[in-house]
């Protein structure tokens, strides 16, 4: 009977044959995608072999081979850096099955369901750590039974199970066997998908809620501006979540690729008619002399933090602050009337000298007001204006619903996304929240050729992916909700 090492040696030999010559360089795109998919399956299983071998080893195993500890041994034998060895060690600790001193049997791992997903090649080291890290941080605040439920939910999510009552009923109706109905299996989750799902799970399962951490955070907030050094001031501190979010929104607005970017550093003098906008404080606020607390008990760092918070609020509302996709662009498309009728040819967008295809102009205008100037042999033959902008209140509602780009696995924040008409405006699609979804620039631009499809089902977006993502070609919700059994009132 072949040993485990012999089996792995044959795998290495087979991989050597794949890598020999330039066979991989000459692959067509379809076969290249298949190679990457199968290589991913092999990669995750090799990681599972490494983790399970490490987890089942005796604590003194590394000393037997001249290494100070597990981390050094993994660095040397796997040829990885300290961080890589540490990641393997963390997963090994989470799947390790200790031996019962009374019976001598292997006890269950701390995350048994995720361990099975690891051994099945569903998740690798990155996905496993993404799933357990948020749970581990809050695990001391809920019991072992809740931890097992979280483990099962994360493993189901990793495998792509999205169980709802409707899914089970539908599967039961369509099944021709007597087997118990299963949840509809969507494509497996990415590590980033698992991380976000685990973050939400940790918040739901934490019985203490966010209050204790918020209370401590308020006392630790501060901002410090360092002394001048080499013409620069260092700034450091701790920001409360709402202040950090406000600052991030301002930075995003300035750095949004749709704008010209933030201005260059320096002072620029220009005439202004009105004074700088300000907002006087209300009597009775902390630190206000006319209020009940005449003594301001805030520390210097806390005062600087609150001053920054006020400044950020004013700056965010200032008329010169760039919006983050809040106002759609006005697009002027110049195109020959014959090309419009034929649906072919080139167009020119104001502000760009390069010709673009009609589909590019249509994409850029999907969320904007369009002013069409029609030419026929150099003569202006028509000017039309079509307003199909999603108003600000509709855009905010769509962003709140979608949270990020609708395409599974793409986690571009919704505030950076464009609003796409699911049924094109030119085909009668309304400018309404039931017909708009958030898509990042790339997925919006490539939607017609990428294989992704979007539809609205009673006002709820649904996605159908390309064959490499979902061979079954089913319509699915873009992201699952938290399982009902794990929610707490």
As a whole number of angstroms, the distance between CA 184 and CA 182 comes to 6
- What local confidence, expressed as pLDDT, does residue 354 receive? 46
Residue 163 near residue 84 (C-beta atoms within 8 A): no
Angle at 469 between CA 467 and CA 471, to 5 degrees: 45
Residue written as tokens 């850096």? 81
- What local confidence, expressed as pLDDT, does residue 43 receive? 96
Helix extents (H) in 318-389? 337-342, 358-364
Q: Which of 201, 206, 215, 214 is nearest to 141 (CA)?
A: 206
Q: Cα-Cα-Cα-Cα dihedral of 307, 312, 315, 321, to 10°?
A: 160
Q: Is 159 exposed, middle or buried (0-12, 13-18, 19+ CB in 10 A)?
A: buried
- What local confidence, expressed as pLDDT, does residue 172 receive? 40
| Phi, psi dihedral angles at 375 (to 5 degrees) | -115, 150
- What local confidence, expressed as pLDDT, does residue 123 receive? 96
- What local confidence, expressed as pLDDT, does residue 131 receive? 96
As a whole number of angstroms, the distance between CA 435 and CA 428 comes to 11
> How would you label 239-256 residue by residue, b for 16+ Cβ within 10 Å and e otherwise?
bbeebeebbebbeebeeb
Residue 192 near residue 411 (C-beta atoms within 8 A): yes
Instruction: Please compute Rg for the chain using Cα positions.
Output: 29
- What local confidence, expressed as pLDDT, does residue 199 receive? 85
H or E element at residue 434: none
Which residues of the chain register pLDDT less than 70?
A: 1, 162-185, 207-215, 217, 231, 241-242, 245-246, 250-298, 300, 302-389, 426, 480-489
Token couple for 164: 């709802």
Token couple for 344: 């072919």
- What local confidence, expressed as pLDDT, does residue 218 receive? 73
As a whole number of angstroms, the distance between CA 399 and CA 439 comes to 10
Q: Quickly count: other Cβ atoms within 10 Å of residue 389's Cβ.
A: 18
As a whole number of angstroms, the distance between CA 183 and CA 200 comes to 21
As a whole number of angstroms, the distance between CA 426 and CA 383 comes to 17
Each domain of the chain, given as residue ranges in start order, spans: 4-205, 330-386, 392-486
Instruction: Give the residues across from 419 on adjacent strands.
Output: 438
Residue written as tokens 């034929």? 342
Residue written as tokens 């599967």? 171
Residue 368 near residue 403 (C-beta atoms within 8 A): no
- What local confidence, expressed as pLDDT, does residue 65 receive? 92
User: What pTM value is reported for the model?
Assistant: 0.66
Residue written as tokens 């209370």? 215
As a whole number of angstroms, the distance between CA 188 and CA 194 comes to 10
As a whole number of angstroms, the distance between CA 367 and CA 325 comes to 10
As a whole number of angstroms, the distance between CA 197 and CA 188 comes to 13
Q: Which of 371, 466, 459, 379 is nearest to 423 (CA)?
A: 459
Instruction: Using the Cα atoms of residue 418, residue 422, residue 426 and residue 430 in order, give the sign of their dihedral.
Output: negative
- What local confidence, expressed as pLDDT, does residue 475 receive? 93
């Amino acid at each position: 009977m072949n040993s485990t090492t012999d089996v792995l040696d044959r795998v290495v030999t087979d991989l050597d044959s794949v890598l020999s010559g330039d066979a991989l360089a000459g692959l067509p795109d379809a076969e290249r995608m298949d190679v990457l998919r199968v290589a991913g399956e092999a990669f995750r299983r090799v990681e599972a072999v490494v983790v399970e071998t490490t987890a089942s080893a005796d604590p003194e195993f590394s000393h037997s081979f001249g290494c100070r500890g597990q981390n050094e041994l993994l660095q040397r034998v796997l040829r990885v850096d300290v961080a890589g060895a540490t990641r393997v060690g963390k997963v090994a600790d989470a799947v390790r099955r200790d031996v019962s001193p009374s019976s001598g049997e292997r006890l269950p791992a701390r995350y048994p369901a995720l361990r099975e997903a690891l051994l099945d090649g569903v998740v690798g080291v990155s996905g496993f750590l993404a799933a357990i890290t948020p749970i581990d941080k809050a695990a001391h605040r809920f019991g072992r039974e809740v931890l097992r439920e979280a483990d099962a939910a994360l493993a189901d999510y990793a495998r792509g199970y999205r169980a709802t009552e409707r899914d089970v009923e539908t599967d039961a109706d369509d099944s021709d066997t007597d087997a118990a109905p299963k949840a509809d299996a969507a494509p497996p989750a990415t590590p980033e998908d698992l991380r976000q799902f685990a973050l939400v799970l940790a918040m739901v399962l934490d019985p203490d809620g966010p209050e204790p951490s918020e209370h401590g955070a308020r006392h630790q907030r501060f901002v410090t501006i360092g002394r001048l050094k080499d013409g620069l001031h260092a700034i450091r501190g701790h920001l409360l979540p709402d202040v950090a979010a406000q600052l991030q929104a301002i930075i995003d607005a300035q750095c949004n690729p749709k704008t010209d970017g933030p201005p260059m550093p320096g002072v620029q003098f220009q005439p202004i008619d009105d004074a700088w906008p300000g907002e006087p404080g209300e009597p009775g606020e902390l630190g206000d002399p006319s209020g009940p607390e005449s003594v301001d008990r805030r520390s210097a760092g806390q005062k600087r933090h609150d001053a920054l918070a006020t400044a950020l609020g004013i700056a965010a509302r200032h008329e010169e602050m760039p919006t983050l996709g809040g106002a759609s662009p006005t697009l002027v498309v110049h195109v020959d009337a014959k090309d419009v009728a034929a649906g072919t040819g080139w167009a020119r967008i104001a502000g760009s000298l390069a010709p673009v295809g009609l589909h590019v102009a249509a994409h850029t205008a999907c969320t904007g007001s369009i002013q069409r100037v029609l030419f026929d042999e150099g003569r202006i033959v028509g000017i039309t204006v079509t307003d199909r902008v999603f108003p600000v209140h509709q855009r905010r509602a769509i962003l709140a619903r979608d949270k990020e780009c609708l395409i599974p696995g793409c986690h571009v924040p919704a505030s950076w996304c464009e609003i796409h008409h699911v049924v094109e405006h030119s085909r009668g699609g309304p400018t309404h929240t039931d017909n708009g979804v958030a898509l990042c620039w790339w997925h919006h631009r490539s939607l017609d050729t990428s294989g992704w499809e979007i539809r609205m089902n009673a006002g709820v977006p649904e996605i159908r992916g390309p064959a490499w993502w979902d061979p079954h070609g089913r319509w699915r919700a873009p992201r699952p909700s938290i399982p009902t059994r794990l929610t707490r009132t």
